[in-house]
Amino acid sequence: MEIISKIILPIFIIVIVFYGVKKKINVYDTFLEGAKEGLQTTFSIFPAIIAMIFAINIFLDSNFLGFVIKIINPIIGNVSLPLEIIPMALLRPISGTASLAVMNDIFKSFGPDSFIGRLASILQGCTDTTVYVIALYFGTIKITKIRHALWVGLFADLVGIIMAIVLTNLFF
């Protein structure tokens, strides 16, 4: 299993680069062109990153979460789940940048190779910003009655979250 994770990336790169060479495109110049776009993307997401890091750190540093955990801990009792993951799971369907900021904080506090660090990584990777995508896509074509789109989408996210927890336990 572990070996598959390790070979995905190199295989991707070699297939992409050599397919480009085979199709006789200038791979180096094309790379530079794309890299330049990537640089612009990074700059364009910078304001959103500042905004989200700002709000999330004020929220996390206030330790309001500790208060919430203290309240709900007796209720859910012995579930062996790091509760710090909850804000991330709640923010993930709404804003990718917000959940990224929480993941960054989890890595900072617990490290990327901790249980919660791995769980956060898988969670960030396995679901998407459902609410945002639905709002954007239906908004553009002026659909107002979305029927069951939102709650089926959120149901799929929930399954993703549960699977992330199960698989983190199973793999590591």
Partner 1 sequence: MVGYIWAFLIGIGIVYSFITGNINVLNESILTNANEALDLILNLMPIIVLWTGILKIAEASGLLDKFARLLSPLLRKIFPTVPKDNKALGYISSNIAANMLGLGSAATPAGLKAMNELQKINPKKDTASTPMITFLILNTAGVTLIPTTILALRVAYKSSSPGEIILPAIIATVCSSIAGLTLDYIIRRKKKNGNNF
Min. distance of Cβ 157 from partner 1 in angstroms?
7
Cα separation, 102 vs 107, whole angstroms: 9
Q: Which is nearer to partner 1, 67 or 71 (CB)?
A: 67
Q: Which is nearer to partner 1, 75 or 108 (CB)?
A: 108
Three-state SS at 115: helix
Min. distance of Cβ 138 from partner 1 in angstroms?
6
* Torsion of the alpha carbons at 44, 46, 52 and 57, rounded to the nearest 10: 170
SS (H, E, C) 2-60: HHHHHHHHHHHHHHHHHHHHHCCCCHHHHHHHHHHHHHHHHHHHHHHHHHHHHHHHHHH
Min. distance of Cβ 120 from partner 1 in angstroms?
9
Q: Which is nearer to partner 1, 73 or 172 (CB)?
A: 172
Min. distance of Cβ 77 from partner 1 in angstroms?
25
Q: Which is nearer to partner 1, 76 or 136 (CB)?
A: 136
